[in-house]
A = this chain, B = another copy of it.
Amino acid sequence: MADLKIYPTILPLTRDSVLRAHELISPAIHRTPVLTCQTINRLASAPLSDTPTQPAEVGEFPIHLYFKCENLQKIGAFKIRGATHAVCRLLDTPAAEEVRRVGVVTHSSGNHAQALALAAREAGIPCTVVMPTISMKNKIAGTQGYGARVVFSGSTAREREAVVAEVQKENGAVLIPPYDHPDIIIGQGTAAVEFMDQVGAMLGESSVGLQAIITSCGGGGLLAGTAVACAGTGVKVFGAEPQKDGANDCERGLAAGKRITEVKTLTVADGLRTPVGEWNWRVISDHEKVDGVYSVSEEEILAALRLVLERMKVVVEPSGVVPLAVVLFNRSFRARVRQLWKEEGEVNLGIVFSGGNVSLEKLGELCASA
């Protein structure tokens, strides 16, 4: 949980909060492009064959996919949205002067590290990031490159948090957690606001526009934010997770009616190895807000990765293609889409490519095994 002491108010998790957040952070982020791909549209509506990664070429019914390219976002991932929003909010309080002096701190070995480092640099405040000693060298260099001080820790959650506590004791920095915080959730939701606007503009006013969005779910910031952004609009929201070693904690938690708090997995979708956070769970477990969460195998994730690189010409990290893998290969999800199509006569489905931070060496390795 976040250190909320310094915050005067907690924002309500509503679409209005997301719209206001979007106004606030727009000057600091990219309005990332939305792409389409006829080949993948065809694959997504073809009857599933018994070889799951080789769907047939003939469409069963028309489905129109739209891809929001947050892999082309600043720092290469949607995480800059939440981090920027959290920093802007901190500087919009009576304690702003104190925040400018003490700065912010987080623990992350992933995209949130670079996101907070950049957001803090843009705001001109100090930033400390606690990273496990075993973090990838390029991630450490990237975080330092955005001007953050990197402090090392062991790799368990407890070891990381202990070092964060030391940093806070030393300099009073405010903790900006990677996903489990309303400001983060609301910030991540801004991608959905743009997405709806952009697809609306592409299809014209006579169209129904985007009808559903599917995003990946690790800690749940992006999924919960998307759900909050879509609440009341009629746009349905779905989540996507890897299956390996029980990485589908959210899907399992929903089935059991209880948040799962520990996950230990080595799924290739390394951004999705964490269990869903508390704030995030409150949103995601509300069936009015999230229609369903679905999961896929490692093989299916790699097949989607290869397809995106070869056919769409964009670099997406494994975590970022999990929603597309669900769309292409998950039978329950396909049945749900078929039902939507019967109800609404067409399906305009948005897929968020959440990030593109994968080294070329890793990419070569992954594609060799896909």
Give the B-binding residues of A (Cβ under 8 A): 30, 33, 35-36, 38, 71-72, 74, 76, 306, 309-310, 312-316, 356, 359-361, 363-364, 367-368
Contact = CB atoms under 8 A, between A and B. Distances in A.
Contacts of A360: 306, 309-310, 367
A356 B72 contact: no
A36 B30 CA distance: 9
A66 to B, nearest CB: 13
A360 B369 CA distance: 12
- Per assembly, the copies of the chain total 2
Nearest to A357: B313
A313 B314 contact: yes
A309 B314 contact: no
Given A360-B367, A367-B360, A368-B364, A71 B313 contact: yes
A359 B310 contact: yes
A89 to B, nearest CB: 24
A364 B356 CA distance: 17
Nearest to A308: B315
Contacts of A314: 72, 313-315
Contacts of A33: 33, 35, 72
Given A35-B72, A361-B367, A364-B368, 17 more contacts: A33-B33, A33-B35, A33-B72, A38-B74, A72-B312, A72-B314, A306-B360, A309-B360, A309-B363, A310-B359, A310-B360, A313-B314, A313-B316, A314-B314, A360-B367, A363-B364, A364-B367
Contacts of A76: 313
